């Protein structure tokens, strides 16, 4: 029920998202623990799985934005220094385009994920070889492909 409401909300907000996403930067964080990556699914959207991340505030360094978004969405605390830059790119999906900075953080132990109830409906730890079994966003695929090539 919530997923259906989130999809409807996404399409109703589409014109605003189209404008909003064009003018800023976003972040994505590839969180790796014991060979698994963390995927999230938001309640507002197309229902695809994605990496933690979100918008960069005006004047905020991208690594700090990634750190903040990771903490807000999952409760996972890392320092900005732990985040290793992966790459910066542009992603498009459903006619929406945005620029983003991607980071990688490898943790020694799997933390408890405390999902932000307002934004995140599900979280899942997934082996990279199993990501193809999930419907993921294009930027998630791009981040994972770039990381696997390193």
pLDDT digits (tens, 9 = 90+) for 111-129: 999 998 878 999 999 999 9
Determine contact, residues 33/109, Cβ cutoff 8 Å.
yes
Domain boundaries defined on the chain: 2-149
CA distances for 7 relative to 46, 48, 50, angstroms: 5, 10, 15
Is the sign of the CA dihedral 99, 89, 92, 137 positive or negative?
Answer: negative
Instruction: List the structure tokens of 114.
Output: 């405390």
Query: Rounded to an integer, what distance in angstroms lies between the CA atom of residue 101 and that of residue 80?
Result: 13
- For 115-135, give the secondary structure using H, E and C: CCCCCEEEEEEECHHHHHHCC
Query: What's the pLDDT at 43?
Result: 78
Determine contact, residues 27/102, Cβ cutoff 8 Å.
yes
Q: What percent of the chain has pLDDT over 70?
A: 81
6: pLDDT strictly greater than 90:
no
**Bridge partners of 106?**
32
Query: What's the pLDDT at 16?
Result: 55
Give this prediction's pTM.
0.84
Question: Which phi and psi (to 5°) does residue 125 adopt?
Answer: -90, 130
Residue pLDDT, tens place only, 81-111: 899 999 999 887 656 678 899 999 999 999 9
CATH topology of domain 2-149: Nucleoside Triphosphate Pyrophosphohydrolase (3.90.79)
DSSP-derived letter for residue 80 is: G
């Amino acid at each position: 029920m919530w997923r259906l409401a989130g999809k409807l909300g996404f399409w109703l907000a589409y014109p605003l998202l189209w404008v909003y996403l064009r003018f800023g930067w976003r972040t994505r964080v590839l969180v790796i623990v014991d060979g698994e990556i963390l995927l999230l699914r938001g309640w507002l959207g197309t229902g695809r799985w994605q990496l933690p991340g979100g918008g960069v505030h005006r004047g905020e360094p991208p690594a700090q934005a990634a750190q903040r978004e990771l903490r807000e969405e999952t409760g996972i605390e890392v320092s900005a220094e732990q985040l290793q830059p992966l790459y910066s790119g542009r992603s498009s999906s459903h006619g929406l385009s945005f620029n983003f900075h991607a980071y990688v953080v490898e943790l020694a132990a799997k933390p408890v994920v405390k999902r932000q109830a307002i934004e995140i409906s599900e979280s899942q730890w997934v082996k990279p070889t199993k990501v193809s079994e999930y419907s993921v966003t294009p930027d998630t695929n791009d981040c994972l492909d770039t990381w696997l090539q390193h």
